[in-house]
Structure 1
């Protein structure tokens, strides 16, 4: 099993790169077009390709969660068989993901000659947006776990990228589906930003989405190859060793 500090570093860098992609492409889209559909297309396209590449690159190191919801689901699904993350690992992952997301927003701001930190003024609040986040997060976790438990983990980079790209368009919230990314996007007052006051509602909805996903997984995918939890860079016996 790769040392926790290496996995946390991969989660930090990967999440930072993801948020840089989301925010940076949003700024570029806002700069080049006044058409809302074109902006969303540019932002979602960059995110699809960027996310797929990042999962492929960092998956062998940390599992490429880049998302506290995924890490928590990994722990929950593997807690009995000791094939998921251990609690200390979850803490390290979540801290790295959140720090990376904030760093990613700052990097994007600086690349476009904006203040390093500019609190977003974009209010994203309302029951319909929170419901959209529940739907988006539920789908994301089910996609990942479903692929792992049916022996199709190799296509996760492409499938997750495709799902998030589609969810940009079919959800009213444009599918944040990630508490760390939600927090990071509060640090940029640009196209992809979210006002700090709107963050709690999105994160709460994402947590509900994770719980809903776990319920669906229990029904549709109760077990999988070696009962692996989510995305892992180690064999089941190695995952068990870290809990010993």
Structure 2
């Protein structure tokens, strides 16, 4: 049971998502400003994102669980570790925080407060990639909690760093972040009408991840106990 009251947990979720999006959008703007090499710009977008996830999960995880992601919140609600009402409030805080994060990034780089993206990200390969990205994120979180809970910040940060490069979609893996990124017409943006495919794929990937990992991590209750004398 988390020791922090709901208002502080919601602020932690909103703040964490805001800082995450500010990092994603801000590093994308900086990378695009400094280089015209798309691969180098993507690297400049990737490393800060992975790094900030390590920081945010470490400092805010003890308060709210550091979901920063409606798909992750759905997983924990289905696991009955979060009530439906609290889960919905988490999602609202995440979406609001993500939008604030985009605004923060724009203000830092003297851009319009919000600017609807024109960057096309659509098609079956992109949607499949987002499903894989969300599946892997949920698998990383659930297995990490089971086997190496203290390593969760690093596991998630490293997974997202890798997924930026092995997925065709550059691994949004997060509906709240996707919504926020639709409001920036910069390197990390996505057109608003491309959002439904991404968001649906992210939730589907997360649900498949929950199903697979619930089976994979289930204790083998029917396994016979080892007889110490049999080992002699």
TM-score, structure 2 normalization: 0.92
TM-aligned CA deviation for residue 216 of structure 1? 0.9
User: 2:113 & 2:145 partners in 1: Cα distance?
Assistant: 38
User: 2:207 & 2:111 partners in 1: Cα distance?
Assistant: 38
Q: Is the 8 A contact 1:10 1:64 kept in 2?
A: yes
Is 1:178 the counterpart of 2:174? The answer is yes
Is 1:71 the counterpart of 2:73? The answer is yes
TM-aligned CA deviation for residue 3 of structure 1? 1.1
2:189 match: 193
Is 1:131 the counterpart of 2:128? The answer is yes
TM-aligned CA deviation for residue 219 of structure 1? 1.8
Which structure has more relative contact order (CA 8 Å, sep 6+)? It is 1
Residue pairs, 1:48-197, within 5 angstroms: 48-77=50-79, 79=80, 84-150=81-147, 152-197=148-193
CA displacement, residues 4-24 of structure 1 (integer Å, 9 cap, x when unaligned): 111000000000000000000
Aligned residue pairs total 218
Pick one of 186, 199, 202 that aligns with 1:203.
Answer: 199
Q: Is the 8 A contact 1:52 1:160 kept in 2?
A: yes
User: 1:218 & 1:93 partners in 2: Cα distance?
Assistant: 23
* Runs of 4+ in structure 1 over 3 Å off: none
CA displacement, residues 115-156 of structure 1 (integer Å, 9 cap, x when unaligned): 001000001000000000000000000100111122x11000
CA displacement, residues 95-116 of structure 1 (integer Å, 9 cap, x when unaligned): 0000000110111011100000
Q: Is the 8 A contact 1:9 1:96 kept in 2?
A: yes
| Superposed CA RMSD | 1.1
Q: Which runs of 5+ in 2 are unaligned?
A: 220-232
